[in-house]
Protein backbone atom coordinates (compact mmCIF):
# COMPACT_ATOMS: atom_id res chain seq x y z
CA UNK A 1 0.00 0.00 0.00
CA UNK A 2 0.94 3.65 -0.25
CA UNK A 3 1.48 5.88 2.76
CA UNK A 4 1.70 9.65 2.62
CA UNK A 5 4.18 10.62 5.31
CA UNK A 6 5.22 14.22 5.73
CA UNK A 7 4.15 14.98 2.17
CA UNK A 8 6.09 12.13 0.61
CA UNK A 9 4.49 8.93 -0.66
CA UNK A 10 6.06 5.65 0.47
CA UNK A 11 5.18 2.19 -0.74
CA UNK A 12 5.12 -0.50 1.91
CA UNK A 13 4.44 -4.20 1.64
CA UNK A 14 3.22 -5.14 5.08
CA UNK A 15 0.13 -6.78 6.59
CA UNK A 16 -2.60 -4.16 6.87
CA UNK A 17 -2.79 -4.59 10.66
CA UNK A 18 0.81 -3.45 11.11
CA UNK A 19 0.84 -0.39 13.36
CA UNK A 20 1.95 2.90 11.84
CA UNK A 21 4.65 3.08 14.55
CA UNK A 22 6.57 0.01 13.47
CA UNK A 23 6.11 0.85 9.82
CA UNK A 24 7.73 4.22 10.40
CA UNK A 25 10.50 2.92 12.62
CA UNK A 26 11.51 -0.46 11.29
CA UNK A 27 10.36 -0.35 7.68
CA UNK A 28 11.04 3.27 6.74
CA UNK A 29 13.81 4.10 9.22
CA UNK A 30 12.00 7.14 10.59
CA UNK A 31 12.93 6.67 14.23
CA UNK A 32 11.86 10.03 15.65
CA UNK A 33 8.52 8.50 16.65
CA UNK A 34 9.08 6.41 19.77
CA UNK A 35 7.81 3.15 21.18
CA UNK A 36 6.71 3.42 24.81
CA UNK A 37 3.94 1.00 25.66
CA UNK A 38 2.31 -0.49 22.57
CA UNK A 39 -1.14 0.05 24.10
CA UNK A 40 -1.89 3.73 23.52
CA UNK A 41 -1.24 4.40 27.20
CA UNK A 42 1.82 6.68 27.11
CA UNK A 43 1.74 8.85 23.99
CA UNK A 44 5.44 8.42 23.07
CA UNK A 45 4.36 7.32 19.58
CA UNK A 46 2.04 10.26 18.87
CA UNK A 47 1.84 11.36 15.22
CA UNK A 48 -0.83 13.29 13.32
CA UNK A 49 -3.18 11.55 10.95
CA UNK A 50 -4.84 14.16 8.76
CA UNK A 51 -3.93 16.61 11.50
CA UNK A 52 -5.44 14.63 14.37
CA UNK A 53 -3.00 13.37 17.00
CA UNK A 54 -3.15 9.58 17.22
CA UNK A 55 -1.19 6.86 18.99
CA UNK A 56 0.69 5.22 16.15
CA UNK A 57 1.50 2.09 18.18
CA UNK A 58 -2.17 1.14 18.14
CA UNK A 59 -3.25 2.50 14.77
CA UNK A 60 -2.82 0.07 11.87
CA UNK A 61 -1.59 1.31 8.51
CA UNK A 62 -4.98 0.41 7.03
CA UNK A 63 -6.34 3.49 8.84
CA UNK A 64 -3.86 5.70 7.02
CA UNK A 65 -5.01 4.88 3.55
CA UNK A 66 -5.63 8.12 1.61
CA UNK A 67 -4.63 10.13 4.67
CA UNK A 68 -1.58 12.20 5.54
CA UNK A 69 0.72 11.18 8.38
CA UNK A 70 2.78 13.94 10.00
CA UNK A 71 5.63 12.95 12.28
CA UNK A 72 8.09 14.78 14.52
CA UNK A 73 10.55 14.90 11.62
CA UNK A 74 8.25 17.35 9.79
CA UNK A 75 6.59 19.18 12.67
CA UNK A 76 8.87 22.18 12.14
CA UNK A 77 7.19 22.74 8.76
CA UNK A 78 4.14 23.91 10.66
CA UNK A 79 4.34 27.36 12.19
CA UNK A 80 2.85 26.09 15.43
CA UNK A 81 5.17 23.10 15.52
CA UNK A 82 8.20 25.30 15.07
CA UNK A 83 7.09 27.61 17.87
CA UNK A 84 6.58 24.62 20.14
CA UNK A 85 10.06 23.26 19.37
CA UNK A 86 11.61 26.66 20.02
CA UNK A 87 9.81 27.04 23.34
CA UNK A 88 10.99 23.55 24.30
CA UNK A 89 14.58 24.65 23.70
CA UNK A 90 14.21 28.07 25.31
CA UNK A 91 13.17 26.69 28.67
CA UNK A 92 15.12 23.43 28.38
CA UNK A 93 12.15 21.10 28.67
CA UNK A 94 13.80 17.77 27.82
CA UNK A 95 15.61 15.60 30.27
CA UNK A 96 16.22 12.23 28.62
CA UNK A 97 14.11 13.51 25.73
CA UNK A 98 12.66 10.17 24.73
CA UNK A 99 8.99 11.10 25.21
CA UNK A 100 9.41 14.58 23.79
CA UNK A 101 8.63 13.71 20.16
CA UNK A 102 5.18 12.64 21.28
CA UNK A 103 4.84 15.57 23.67
CA UNK A 104 5.73 18.05 20.92
CA UNK A 105 3.32 16.53 18.40
CA UNK A 106 0.53 16.58 21.00
CA UNK A 107 1.33 20.15 22.05
CA UNK A 108 1.34 21.27 18.42
CA UNK A 109 -2.11 19.79 17.87
CA UNK A 110 -3.36 21.45 21.05
CA UNK A 111 -2.12 24.92 20.13
CA UNK A 112 -3.29 24.69 16.55
CA UNK A 113 -6.88 24.14 17.71
CA UNK A 114 -6.72 26.10 20.94
CA UNK A 115 -4.26 29.00 20.66
CA UNK A 116 -4.79 30.20 24.23
CA UNK A 117 -5.21 27.08 26.35
CA UNK A 118 -5.85 27.33 30.08
CA UNK A 119 -3.88 25.17 32.54
CA UNK A 120 -6.88 22.89 32.64
CA UNK A 121 -6.95 22.63 28.84
CA UNK A 122 -3.25 21.81 28.76
CA UNK A 123 -3.51 19.22 31.51
CA UNK A 124 -6.47 17.54 29.90
CA UNK A 125 -4.95 17.47 26.45
CA UNK A 126 -1.46 16.42 27.50
CA UNK A 127 -2.32 13.83 30.16
CA UNK A 128 -2.07 11.04 27.60
CA UNK A 129 1.65 11.67 27.24
CA UNK A 130 3.76 10.17 30.03
CA UNK A 131 7.18 11.56 30.94
CA UNK A 132 9.07 9.48 33.50
CA UNK A 133 11.73 12.16 33.93
CA UNK A 134 8.98 14.46 35.15
CA UNK A 135 9.18 17.41 32.75
CA UNK A 136 5.45 18.15 32.99
CA UNK A 137 5.79 21.55 34.64
CA UNK A 138 8.19 22.76 31.99
CA UNK A 139 5.98 21.33 29.24
CA UNK A 140 3.06 23.31 30.63
CA UNK A 141 5.21 26.42 30.74
CA UNK A 142 6.62 25.85 27.24
CA UNK A 143 3.15 25.48 25.77
CA UNK A 144 2.23 28.85 27.25
CA UNK A 145 5.46 30.41 25.94
CA UNK A 146 4.78 29.02 22.46
CA UNK A 147 1.19 30.31 22.60
CA UNK A 148 2.42 33.76 23.53
CA UNK A 149 5.05 33.82 20.81
CA UNK A 150 2.54 32.66 18.22
CA UNK A 151 0.10 35.31 19.27
CA UNK A 152 2.81 37.97 19.02
CA UNK A 153 3.75 36.95 15.49
CA UNK A 154 0.29 36.32 14.08
Partner 1 sequence: MIKTNASLAEQISNISRRDFIRGFALTGLVLAVGIPGVSWAADEPKFGRDGMPNGWVDNPLVFVSIAEDGTVTIVAHRSEMGQGVRTSLPMVVADEMEADWSRVNVVQAYGDEQKFGNQNTDGSRSMRHFFMPMRNVGAAARMMLETAAAAIWGVPVSEVKAIFHEVHHEATGRILTYGEVAQAAAKLAVPARSDLVLKTVDAFRYIGKQSNKLIDGANIVEGKAEYGIDVRRDGMVYAVVAHPPAYGDTLTSYDDSDTLKVPGVLKTLTLASTPPPAVFNPLGGVVVVATNTWAAIKGREKLKIQWKSGPNAGYVTETFRKEMEKSATSQGGKILRSVGDVYKTLAETENKLQASYYIPHLAQAPMEPPVATAHYQDDFCELWSSIQNPQAGVDTVAHWLGFKPEQVKVNVTLLGGGFGRKSKPDYMVEAALVSKALGGKPVKLTWTREDDIQHSYFHTVSVEHLEAAFDDNRRATAWLHRTVAPSISSTFDASSMNQMPMEASMGVVNVPFDLPNIQLENPAAAPHTRIGWYRSVANIPHAFGVQSFIAEMAHHVGRDHKEFLIELIGKDRKIDPKTLRDEWNYGESPEDYPLNTGRMHAVIEHVTNKANWGKKMAANTGQGLATHYSFTSYVATVVEVAIVGDGEVTVPRIDIAIDCGPQVNPERIRSQIEGACVMGVSLALFSEISFTNGVADQNNFDGYEVARMNNGPMEIHVHIMPTTDYDAPLGGVGEPGMPPIAPALCNAIFAATGKRIRSLPVRYQLES
Fill in the DSSP letter of residue 27: I
Question: Does 131 engage in binding with partner 1 (CB under 8 A)?
Answer: yes
Question: Does 31 engage in binding with partner 1 (CB under 8 A)?
Answer: yes
| Helix ranges (DSSP H) in the chain | 20-22, 79-90, 100-113, 119-126, 136-153
Question: Does 115 engage in binding with partner 1 (CB under 8 A)?
Answer: no
Considering only 4, 58, 95, 114, the residue that binds partner 1 (CB under 8 A) is 95
Distance CA 88, CA 129 (A): 15
Considering only 3, 85, 110, 150, the residue that binds partner 1 (CB under 8 A) is 85
Dmax (CA) of the chain: 47
Distance CA 138, CA 104 (A): 12
Distance CA 94, CA 131 (A): 10
Question: Does 70 engage in binding with partner 1 (CB under 8 A)?
Answer: no
Residue (42 or 111) nearer to partner 1, CB: 42
Query: What does the binding site for partner 1 look like in residue numbers (CB under 8 A)?
Result: 14-15, 18-19, 21-22, 25-27, 29, 31-39, 41-42, 44, 71-73, 75-76, 85, 88-92, 94-101, 104, 119, 122-124, 126-140
Amino acid sequence: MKLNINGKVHSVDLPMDTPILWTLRDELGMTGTKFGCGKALCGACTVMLDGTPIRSCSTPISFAENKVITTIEAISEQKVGQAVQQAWLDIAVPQCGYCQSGQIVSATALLRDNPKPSDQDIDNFMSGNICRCGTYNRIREAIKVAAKNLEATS
